[in-house]
Chains A and B, each alone.
Chain A
Amino acid sequence: MGFVTQGADVALVSLQGVGKTFSGRTGAWEAVRDFSLDMAEGEFFCLLGTSGCGKTTVLNMVAGFEAPTAGRILLDGAPVERPGADRGVVFQGHDSLYDWLTALDNIGFGLRLRGMGKAERRAKAEHFLRMVGLTGQGAKHPSELSGGMKQRIQIARALANDPRMLLMDEPFGALDAMTRAVLQGELSRIWAETKKTVLFITHDIEEACALATRIGVMRRGPGGTLKAIVPVDLPFPRERTSDEFMRVFREVHGLIHDEIHGAH
């Protein structure tokens, strides 16, 4: 499965002492403190943590939607200043899809921005529609698609743009358990096919164990930060009932349990 688990290569993304303090009506809130992480090209990094620990905040900073208030984030050695086509984002909800465009045109949106011709764009979009298992559904509008289908379209839209990395914020969080398991399997396959670097946010331990090459467990806020990194050296596709899988699951569960326990 040629992926790199530890930062042996030069990091694709490097978060160095990153912090984020929000200042609002209720005063200042330090959501993230001293968050450091190097991600290697091609790895699937799951960021796992309880609700409100700062996962989305970290992702938003890597995406360039929000600026860190401390530390810095480097992408290929250059500081991240704004969102860019090199970082595709799959959002938690599906409000990010364009209701007025068909599924196919949603997928081809990034290509259209680059001025790609209609025929070529269509062919490429069809390719990614097939990749996410929605062949023949391209003419539908988002309002005619189920929640799971919409997330597939989001993934296809991000992939069609051929970014350096994918940032995914609990993409399957709102789906039922069965759909979620199916989509996890497909994402794993797509990741192996496309060799994209993925930063994947979740609060589902099993999901993290099934997908990740490394799992970062976060400490809850204020001042949320990385508490531990657990490498997952299991082959794909992952056998969820294997002893090896259970061993990783228990280890991560122990780390998370302490967090939850500390909360109450």
Chain B
Amino acid sequence: MALFMMRSTVRIDRLTTIGGYIAGFALLFLIWHLAAVYLVKSTLFPPPMPVLERGWMLIEDGILQEQIIASLRRIAQGFLLGSAIGIPVGLAIGSFKPVRWLLEPWTEFFRFIPAVAMITVSVIWFGIGEESKVFLIAYTTIFVVIISTAAGVGAVGRDKIRAAQCLGANRWQVFGLVALPATVPYILTGMRLAMSNAFVTIVAAELIASNDGLGKMLWDARLFMQIEDIFVALVALGLLGFATDRSFRFLIRAFAGRFNATV
């Protein structure tokens, strides 16, 4: 009985959350509408309806999906590449002092050079093809993931490690069976942060050097003064980012919720 009540409370919580999101977005669009129609009254700031209509048209023509998929594919590739490098490096920095001494200057150096500043170099090195964008996303992902992974390793409780040692664990077992699982929530949090950086980076990169993607769509729309297209791209970015971040949070909860009641 108690269990049933808890379950249904969780479901009601979830419904409330979703209801809240819908109401929040509705309010946002309402304010946008009011601001555009009654306040700004300019063709440079279209109200939501024409923008949504234009968006629907672009979807029917298959154009919007194409741009979205182009951008998301780059994000996914760079993000996975960056995480695949960042996680082991972060683990090594957190676990071994010499590696920390050696690599910390690197991370501390590069994390202050934003990916946006690397666009020009990246275009010179890789051209305006896929490689330059994937490189930039990987770049923006790596350092965030490294830093939060290394911090996670450092935060593993001393008693957890000692307990394993006096149960007979060797160095590798301490690493693989204690330090690593204890660090998972930190890794996932780092990846979540990196994901939002990736959205910033991909738009900037596509604005400057690309043949497709949402950033390119923004750029073209500006050139041809298609103001509705600009807003379609902006709304698409916001919604995509929101959806991605929610899914990430959902994953973190699913995988790491039991690690810590406060996640």
In chain A, positions 157-197 with a C-beta closer than 8 Å to chain B are 157-158, 161, 163
Chain B contacts of A112 at CB under 8 A? 177
Cross-interface CB contact of A100 among B164, B167, B184, cutoff 8 Å: B184
Interface string of B163-204 (1 = CB under 8 A from A): 111111100010001100110100000000000000000000
Chain B contacts of A85 at CB under 8 A? 166-168
Chain B contacts of A100 at CB under 8 A? 181-182, 184, 258-259
Does B167 contact A88, Cβ atoms closer than 8 Å? yes
Chain A contacts of B169 at CB under 8 A? 113
Does B160 contact A95, Cβ atoms closer than 8 Å? yes
Known contacts A83-B166, A84-B168; is-contact A96 B259 (Cβ 8 Å): no
Cross-interface CB contact of B164 among A82, A87, A109, cutoff 8 Å: A109
Does B162 contact A110, Cβ atoms closer than 8 Å? no
- B261 beta carbon closer than 8 Å to chain A: yes
Cross-interface CB contact of A63 among B160, B166, B173, B184, cutoff 8 Å: B166
How many A residues have CB within 8 A of the partner chain?
29
Chain A contacts of B165 at CB under 8 A? 64-65, 82-84
Does B178 contact A98, Cβ atoms closer than 8 Å? yes
In the complex, what residue of chain A is closest to B261 when comparing beta carbons?
A143
A88 to B168 Cα, complex, angstroms: 9
- B260 beta carbon closer than 8 Å to chain A: yes
- B157 beta carbon closer than 8 Å to chain A: yes
Chain B contacts of A253 at CB under 8 A? none
CB distance from B8 to the nearest CB of A (A): 19
- B60 beta carbon closer than 8 Å to chain A: no
In the complex, what residue of chain B is closest to A65 when comparing beta carbons?
B162
A85 to B167 Cα, complex, angstroms: 5
A65 to B158 Cα, complex, angstroms: 10
Identify which of B166, B177, B181, B259 gathers the most chain A CB atoms within 10 Å of its CB: B166
- B159 beta carbon closer than 8 Å to chain A: yes
Binding site for A on B (CB under 8 A): 157, 159-160, 162-169, 173, 177-178, 181-182, 184, 258-261
Binding site for B on A (CB under 8 A): 63-65, 82-85, 87-89, 91, 93, 95-100, 109-110, 112-114, 141, 143, 157-158, 161, 163
14 contacts between A and B (CB under 8 A): A63-B162, A83-B162, A83-B166, A84-B168, A85-B166, A89-B163, A93-B159, A95-B160, A100-B182, A109-B164, A110-B167, A113-B167, A141-B258, A143-B259
* A-B contact sample (11 more), CB < 8 A, given A83-B165, A113-B167, A158-B167: A64-B166, A84-B165, A88-B166, A91-B162, A97-B163, A98-B181, A99-B182, A100-B184, A114-B168, A143-B258, A143-B259
